[in-house]
Amino acid sequence: QVQLVESGGGLVQAGGSLRLSCAAAGRTFSAYAMAWFRRAPGKEREFLASISWSGGDTYYADSVKGRFTISRDNARNTVYLQMNSLKPEDTAVYYCAANRGAATRYGYQYDYWGQGTQVTVSS
């Protein structure tokens, strides 16, 4: 069992930045690939970024490539999402997820999920 807790969300103006954190407790964090997803009102869950257990491989959705950066600190059992150049369309609840397998973009392959943190970008 892995418990995930996101933090760092909030209200920011368009063009601003936020850094989300996801702290993990439970089983060995470094054994899991991690990912960030989001869900905007009235929309389906969207993959944003994933990172392998070692941090050596990262993958991004086209919608955030070049603006968002995923990273992890296995010593702190934490994964991060640095978000720059935020846009109003980035407004959503952001979730982190853990996968005992590979760093994929498919939510159904992730075993554990956090409760989410709200990000609101004003125009």
Distance of CA 116 to the CA centre of its chain: 9
Averaged pLDDT score across all residues of the chain: 96
Residue 112 pLDDT exceeds 90: yes
φ, ψ of residue 101 to 5 degrees: the values are: -100, -140
Q: Which two tokens stand for residue 65?
A: 């490539």
The proportion of the chain whose per-residue pLDDT surpasses 90, expressed as a percent, equals 94
Q: Each residue of 51-75: pLDDT tens digit?
A: 999 999 999 999 999 999 999 999 9
Element (H, E) at 38: strand 33-39
The owner of tokens 């609840």 is: 93
Residue 36 Cα distances to 11, 47, 69, 97, angstroms: 19, 7, 10, 6
